[in-house]
Chain A
Amino acid sequence: MKLSLPPGVSAAAMSAAFTDFASVVGAQWVLATDEDRQTYTDHFALDESRHAPAGAVVPSSVDEVREVVRIANKHRIPLWPISRGKNFGYGGAAPRLKGSVVLDLSRMKKIEVDVENGTVLVEPGVGFYDLHDYLRKNNIPLWISVPGNSWGSVAGNALDRGVGYTSYGDHTSKVCGLEVVLPDGDLVRTGMGAMDGAPTWQLYRYGFGPAWDQMFVQSNFGVVTKLGLWLMPEPESVYAIDMELDKPEDLGWMVDVLAEFRRDGTLQQAPSIGNWLRAAAVLTKRSDWYDKPGLLPDSVINAIRQRFGIGWWSASLRLYGYRDVNRAYADVITKRISAAGKVEIKTKEWERGTPVPPDPFMGYPITFPLQNANWYGGRAAHVGFSPVLPPRGDLAMEQFRRTHAIYTRYGFDYHASFAMGERHLTNVNQVLFDKDSPEMVKQANAMFIELVDDATRHRYGEYRTHLDYMDLVASTYDFNDHALRRLNEKVKAALDPNGIIAPGKNGIWSPGYEGERA
């Protein structure tokens, strides 16, 4: 992949910056060959060339990060910080702005655990496997919450508001204290970390005065170099309630029942109600069942469901805590659900002292859900469309029907889930496609834009999106003629006058990049 330059930067300036970067991190950690650029593109994107980087610089310490940021200011080089670059479906390692230099933090892998208080301080390069293995190896009785792709970074996932399977699965809500390199190279610690040496940095979130942790989440206001996170003390018992629902319309009543349990706190974990394809695409591929283009007939869907024993929808509830308490809650939950509609329920229990199975609901990291991208074969790819709804069964059913109709019109197999937050419902839809089919790529893009438009008409906004759609989604947050964008860009201009850190991230741009907003 040839060198791409960001707007207003000459090849000479880029070359001078690379030389200066090398003086800080060592020449072997400035990566700017054609092959290097290719490895930092988004493998799963609709069009990789749109987000081609100029190269990458790979520091090993916070001091090196600060120097790299200062050099970037001097040469006006935009940096795109990544933790481990595994944000698949949202852009991977690739920058929003073509020609940015990827600031790859994957060599920064320090882990500091406070066993007694159940917290950890991680650097961005620490992956879920790294942290899991560290805790097990040192016999620390704390569990992590892992996402469906646990290859990625613990810090990076929390900073993009990723989610996991346990009651600690709303990762960004478990963040407690950050260390951040600001765009001018200054270094700040948030919360109690603002007091040098405070033993409460990972224990109390707010500190004194304004609390800034969320300011550095899904933003481009700084480079997070350390992130504090709360971990779950290993529970006495885990109670599993796995459910299969037979009909599409079962989604409505299930959402209503689970929403009540989330509101009143009976259920601390955020169960995700996924359709048959969410399970099937991990287990098999389309061509094993059907060799024609167009939609799968119901007879084929039924055959797949029967073969793997999956419902039209499936949902998994988990209770974590004392055995007797779990059992009492499980009794209430299963009775209420069974009274509300037809459902197949399977339960099981795990108790402390027995081996912990390799189960993501028990903090075991996994990658196999990524197999779903191979559903259509070819060079498989996927993007996620994830609007946030009120937690109401009738609204969920309407959202499902409209989205299913759009997928049907564009000829894509419907792949969706509805995750139950405490007061909201996140409707995560995967658009799976084969990158080797230009027609399918074109249709996937057109469908995505229509899905955003449809959600916006119902005043539902997305919680997270791919690089290609950051400007589109940001534009849907339109109160008072996009007052939030004006605020974000005032903050951006104040902190980062040269527009160095991740221009365009989440639709936030700096002066000088006016032409880049999509």
Chain B
Amino acid sequence: MKKLIALVGLAGAACAAVAAPDNVPLDGRALFEEKCAMCHRDMGMGTGLLQRRMDANIARLENRTDLTSEFVVMAARIGIGNMPRIPRGEASDAELRAIGDYLADSATRAP
């Protein structure tokens, strides 16, 4: 635990409430930060568990280049291993799709 804490810089999880009107495109990065970063950035349960079965460099979802939006949506709705299912009350279909698009499009993300 101490080691985990020592490893980490501050995960930049400045979260704004995301409530965009229908005609404004959803911000996948902001939604990822609000709804996923607690587990899928540094120090998170998801990153920690993925590190147990893959290279530490790609345990962070934002470092992956092989994710598709469909896979992200499916994983969130049906859960994987320790990851519980994410209901639509927490992330709507449109929000989850925006998060999936953000993770699938590695080219637009800063390394």
Chain B residue numbers with a CB within 8 Å of A272 are none
Complex contacts, B10 vs chain A, CB 8 Å: 355, 358
Check B52 against A374 for contact (C-beta < 8 Å). yes
Residues on B with C-beta less than 8 A from A359 are 5
CA distance A363 to B3 in the complex (A): 18
Residue of B nearest to A287 (CB): B52
> With contacts A283-B1, A358-B11 known, is A368 near B43, CB below 8 A?
yes
**Contact in complex: A43, B85 (CB < 8 Å):** yes
**Residue of A366, A368, A369 with most partner-chain B CB within 10 A:** A368
B37 to chain A: closest residue by CB: A129
Considering the chains assembled together, what is the distance between the CA atoms of A452 and B56 in angstroms?
41
Binary interface encoding of chain B residues 32-53 relative to chain A, with 1 for a CB under 8 A from any of its CBs, else 0: 0010011100011110110010
The answer on a CB contact under 8 Å between A374 and B81 is yes
User: Does residue A28 face the partner (Cβ distance < 8 Å to B)?
Assistant: yes
Alpha-carbon gap, A416 to B35, bound state (A) = 30
Asked if residues B90 and A371 are in contact (CB atoms below 8 Å), the reply is no
Does B54 reach chain A (CB closer than 8 Å)? no
Chain A 228-263 interface mask (CB, 8 Å, partner B; 1/0): 000000000000001000000000000000000000
Chain A residues near B9: list those with CB within 8 A: 358
Complex interface: chain A residues within 8 A of B89 (CB): 29, 31, 56, 58, 85, 102, 104, 106-107
State whether A129 and B45 are in contact (beta carbons under 8 Å apart), knowing that A285-B52, A374-B81 are contacts in the complex. Answer: no
- Distance in angstroms between the alpha carbons of A177 and B38 in the assembled complex: 29
What's the least CB distance linking B57 to chain A, in Å? 18
Q: 0/1 per residue, A75-94, Cβ < 8 Å to B?
A: 00000000011101000110
A367/B39 contact (C-beta < 8 A), A133-B13, A285-B52 known: yes
Min CB–CB distance A116 → chain B (angstroms): 24
B15 near A368 with CB under 8 A, answer: no
Of A35, A85, A129, A242, which one neighbours B90 at CB under 8 angstroms?
A: A85
Q: What's the dominant secondary structure at chain B's contact region?
A: loop
Decide if A438 is an interface residue (CB 8 Å cutoff): no
- Classify chain B: how many residues form its interface, as a range: 35 or more
Q: How far is the CA of A56 from the CA of B10 in the complex (A)?
A: 35
A498 proximal to B (CB < 8 A): no
Contacts of B3 in A (CB 8 A): 283, 308
Instruction: Determine whether the beta carbon of B87 is less than 8 Å from that of A368.
Output: no
Other-chain residue from A85, A109, A279 in contact with B87 (beta carbon distance below 8 A)? A85
Give Cα A88 to B13, complex, Å. 23
Interface: A160 (CB within 8 A): no
Q: Mark A250-288, 1 if CB is under 8 A from B, else 0.
A: 000000000000000000000000000001001111000
State the CA gap A91–B4 with chains docked (Å).
28
A-B pairs with beta carbons under 8 Å apart, 18 shown: A28-B92, A31-B89, A39-B86, A43-B79, A85-B87, A104-B87, A106-B89, A129-B38, A130-B15, A133-B14, A151-B39, A282-B48, A358-B43, A367-B45, A368-B1, A369-B45, A371-B48, A373-B82
B binding-site residues for A, Cβ under 8 Å:
1-5, 8-11, 13-15, 17, 34, 37-39, 43-46, 48-49, 52, 77-79, 81-82, 84-90, 92
- In order of increasing CB-CB distance, the 4 nearest A-B pairs are A43-B84, A104-B89, A39-B87, A58-B89
